[in-house]
Structure 1
Amino acid sequence: MSPIMNNTKWRELQQSMYALGGHSPKWRTKCVTNGHVSNWDGEWFYHFSECGYKDIEWVEIQTENEEHRNLVLAELRKVHVPGEHTAHGFRVYGYVQEGSPVEYL
Structure 2
Amino acid sequence: MRGTDFKQQLPQPDDAAKAKLRRLLAAGTILPVMNQTKWAELIEAMLGSPQMQPEFRLHSVLAPSGYCTDWDGDWHYHIHPVAEIEWIELRAVSLDWLLSTLRKHNLPFSIEGETPRVWGYTRIGTQPVWC
* TM-score bracket for the superposition, by shorter chain length: 0.7 to 0.9
> Aligned partners of 1:99, 1:38: CA distance in 2, in Å?
24
Q: 2:101 aligns with which of 54, 57, 75?
A: 75
SS at match of 1:80: coil
Against the structure 1 CA distance between its residues 39 and 3, is the aligned structure 2 distance closer, same or farther, given a 3 Å change threshold? Answer: same
Identical-residue share of aligned pairs (%): 32
Change over 3 Å in CA distance of 1:29–1:21 after alignment to 2: same
Which position in structure 1 is the counterpart of 2:73? Answer: 42
**Matched AA of 2:116:** F
1:23 to 52, 64, 67: 52
SS at match of 1:34: coil
Q: With the length of structure 2 as denominator, give the TM-score of the two structures.
A: 0.66
Aligned-pair CA distance for 1:102: 5.5
Pair 1:55 & 2:84 matched: yes
- Structure 1 unaligned spans of 5+: none
Q: Deviations over 1:53-90 (max 9, x none)?
A: 111000000244xxx00011111111111111233430
User: Counterpart amino acid of 2:107?
Assistant: V
Structure 2, unaligned runs of 5 or more = 1-29
Matched to 1:18, the amino acid is: L
Tell me if structure 2 keeps the 8 A contact 1:59–1:91.
yes
| TM-score calculated relative to the size of structure 1 | 0.81
- Structure 1 residue ranges, 4+ long, deviating more than 3 angstroms after superposition: 98-105
Paired residues of 1:81 and 1:104 also in contact (CA < 8 A): no
Q: Please name the residue that 1:9 is paired with.
A: 38
Structure with the bigger percentage of helix: 2
CA contact (8 A) 1:27 1:41 kept: yes
Relative CO higher for 1 or 2, CA cutoff 8 Å, sep ≥ 6?
A: 1
The two structures, once aligned, show a CA RMSD in angstroms of 2.0
Instruction: Tell me the CA shift for residue 14 of structure 1.
Output: 0.4
Distance in 2 between residues matched to 1:104 and 1:19, nearest whole Å: 25
**Aligned pair 1:85/2:111, yes or no?**
yes
Relative distance call for 1:40 and 1:28 in structure 2 (3 A) is: same
